[in-house]
């Protein structure tokens, strides 16, 4: 006999500018605690080095809009000219089965989640400073110089938007990786135990 959970899982949103360390942190979180990590759909072309970061389902624009029309996304946004979206059903099924779900998305998507799922915990990751963010974008070795510039220029806007929106429950600076991961683990444990 299947057992229904007493309470739904926690929807955890990690947000922050490209290169700040979201996928590195997510991987470490998934090693330390049980969280279900979503695979986003994107119209962005696959690039060498992609396998070291967030895992994507790379699809055409036609397919993206077909899924959007069929209401298959929990949230979606156009970021740096491409579309990104979180598939709705796997995430909602895990939540209703009592499993915690981790989304790694941009600010526009996080604001949609804030509105649609008020109980979600939203964490914005900040770089220690701008030169460090630029170095990390370069270190990732994945994007062209043009794409790195696009992401770096957008970072300031995203940080301002995140701070101005007041939608985020926590701001975490990813300076020393272990310290940032520990802080997020504490946040998740606090929320799991019913804390606000």
Which of 12, 22, 91, 121 is close enough to bind ligand ADP by CB under 6 A?
A: 22
Q: Closest Cα partner for 103 from 9, 11, 8?
A: 11
To the nearest whole angstrom, how small is the minimum distance from the Cβ of residue 118 to ligand ADP?
25
Nearest distance, CB of residue 186 and ligand 5GP, angstroms: 22
**In the bound complex, what is the minimum distance in angstroms from residue 1's beta carbon to ligand 5GP?**
35
User: Interface residues for ligand 5GP in 54-73 (CB under 6 A)?
Assistant: 54
> Segment contacting ligand 5GP (CB under 6 A): 91-99, 106-114, 159-167, 180-188?
106-114
Number of residues that bind ligand 5GP (CB under 6 A): 17
Residues in touch with ligand 5GP (CB under 6 A): 18, 40, 44, 53-54, 75-77, 79, 84-86, 104-106, 108-109
């Amino acid at each position: 006999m299947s057992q229904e959970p007493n309470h739904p899982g926690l929807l955890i949103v990690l947000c922050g500018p490209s290169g700040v360390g979201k996928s590195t942190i997510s991987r470490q979180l998934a090693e330390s605690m049980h969280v279900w990590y979503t695979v986003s759909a994107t119209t962005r072309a696959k690039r060498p080095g992609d396998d070291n970061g967030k895992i994507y389902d790379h699809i055409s624009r036609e397919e993206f809009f077909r899924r959007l029309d069929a209401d298959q996304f929990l949230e979606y946004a156009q970021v740096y000219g491409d579309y990104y979206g979180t598939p709705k059903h796997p995430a909602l099924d895990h939540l209703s089965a009592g499993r915690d779900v981790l989304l790694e998305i941009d600010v526009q998507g996080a604001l949609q989640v804030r509105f649609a799922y008020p109980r979600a915990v939203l964490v914005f990751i900040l770089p220690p400073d701008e030169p460090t963010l630029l170095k990390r974008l370069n270190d990732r070795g994945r994007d062209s110089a043009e794409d790195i510039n696009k992401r770096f220029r957008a970072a300031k806007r995203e940080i301002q938007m995140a701070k101005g929106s007041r939608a985020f429950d926590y701001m975490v600076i990813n300076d020393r990786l272990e310290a940032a991961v520990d802080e997020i683990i504490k946040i998740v444990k606090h929320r799991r135990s019913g804390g606000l």
